[in-house]
Amino acid sequence: MKMPLINYLSKIVFLSLVLVSYSCVKDVDLDQYNEIVLSPEAAIDLIYFDLTADEFTGENGSGVTASDETRLDFLDDDYIQNSLVRADFNFRFTNTFQSPLTATIRLVSPSNSVQHTIEVPIPSGSLGEPATIDYTEIIDENQINRVRRSIKMSVEIIRHDPTAIEGSLQLASKGFYYFEFQS
């Protein structure tokens, strides 16, 4: 009676060994983990304004000027610094001044040095027929360091005819941010 029992036990052990040795993880390549890239694309509002004639407080050779700037602290965050690969900035101007304008948007570093300049000429419009300009600046992989080095966005508007005080200039803007997070 004892022999069959030992036989049974040894069969169980054998069976377990067979199971364990045949069981494995096949046809998979776990090293692919290193190739995993998360590439989210974020669409986020940027700045906006509605600028009237009385806010043009400066002057230069080519007209009257209005300027302002804002810090964009998120540009300094790790996910921008390490993983932003491309940024598309889209600006939509609506001009009802009866004067051509020039908008200059600058990305500025913490030490106030200009990293990137976007200049958009805006044609003359009127209250009845606003001039609209839809301008997109694509900052690709080659230039993306300019965004990473920046912390502020400044805007300067020149109204070339100082006498055209009727109307306003509106800006709406957004950014598409393309990330690549790697493991």
Partner 1 sequence: MRVIFFLFILTFYLAAPAQNKQLLYNFDDLPQNLLINPGAETYFDMHIGIPFLSQIHLSAGSSGVSMYDIFKDDQGSINARIKESLHKLSRNDFFMVNQQLEIFSIGWRDNKRRYYTAGVYQEMDAFVYFPKDPAVLAYEGNKDYIGRNFNFSDAAFTADFLNVFHVGFTNYYSEDLNYGFRGKIYSGIFNAYSVGNRGIFRTELSPEGPNLYRHYMSGLDMVINTSGWANVVDSKASNKEVMTSLLESALLGGNIGVGLDAGFTWYPSDQYRITGSLLDIGFMRQTKNVENYRYYGDYQTHGIELLFPGTQEYWDEWEDDLDRNLKDETLTNSYTTWRPVKLNASVDYGFHENAEPCNCYRPMGRRRYYNHLGAQFFAVKRPRGLNYATTLYYDRTFNENFRGKVTYTADSYSFSNIGLLVSAKLSNFNVYLAADNLLDYTNFAKAQNASLQIGFQLMFSRE
The single residue among 102, 113, 162, 174 that binds partner 1, judged by CB under 8 A, is 174
| C-alpha to C-alpha distances, 17 to 10, 22, 24, 168, 171, nearest whole angstrom | 10, 8, 12, 82, 73
The single residue among 3, 5, 60, 129 that binds partner 1, judged by CB under 8 A, is 5
Is the CB of residue 96 less than 8 Å from the CB of residue 87? no
The single residue among 14, 17, 39, 123 that binds partner 1, judged by CB under 8 A, is 39
Q: What's the longest Cα–Cα distance across the chain? A: 115
Position 16 contacts partner 1 (CB under 8 A): yes
Report phi then psi at 43, rounded to 5.
-115, 115
Which residue's CB is nearer to partner 1, number 72 or number 107?
72
Dist CA 169 CA 97 (whole Å): 7
Position 37 contacts partner 1 (CB under 8 A): yes
Which residue's CB is nearer to partner 1, number 41 or number 119?
41
Dist CA 61 CA 166 (whole Å): 21
Residues forming contacts to partner 1 in the complex (CB under 8 A) are 5-6, 8-9, 12, 15-16, 19, 22-30, 32-33, 35-51, 55, 57, 66-73, 79, 83, 90, 92, 155, 172-174, 176-177, 179, 181, 183
